[in-house]
A = this chain, B = another copy of it.
Amino acid sequence: MASGDLTLSILGLLGEGPMHGYELKARIHRLSGHLRPVSDGALYPAITRLEKSGLVERHEEEGAGAARRQVLTLTDAGRAELLRRLREPADLDISDQTRFFGLLTFLSQLPRRADRAEVLRRRLAFLETPASFFYEEDRPLRAEEVPDPFHRGMLLIARATGDAEKRWLRETLAELES
């Protein structure tokens, strides 16, 4: 889990309703766990940090299976922070696909349609900027121009990915703006 992602995931999931740490762990695991499992050593300290900064509240409850549960609820400040992170994502959240997907997972929680559209517009603008992994004197090289077969693959895949995503972004923006 890339830095910062975990906090957004916790806030985003709690934005859908209160739950305890163990359930957060299971939900995060389903969302992105095949890539990078959440460890207890990351999750529980992250919850403690959120509690200390007043974004999350704890209420002890009897465990369904066994032990006592710490049911977590977003405070008003926590919800405000979640919406702020969704409305004004960092550049890195826009440029890195994994992180952008983290945003998309919870974007429906942004109440204003115009705010949701603006996030998609930023991603589209990023994808429309010419870029490559390889350059010749600052000119981005296209797949056809690189001799290394694996480099060519990277560019072919990146192009297909970018095209698919741009198509979806344009369609979805058209719907949001209608």
Contact = CB atoms under 8 A, between A and B. Distances in A.
Contacts of A98: 96-98
A123 to B, nearest CB: 10
**Secondary structure dominating the interface of A:** helix
Contact of A107 (B92, B150, B168): B150
A53 B162 CA distance: 40
A96 B161 contact: no
Interface in A64-111: 92, 95-98, 101, 104-105, 107-108
Interface string A132-159: 0111000000000000111101101100
Interface of A: 2, 30-32, 34-36, 92, 95-98, 101, 104-105, 107-108, 116, 131, 133-135, 148-151, 153-154, 156-157, 160-161, 163-165, 168-169, 172, 175
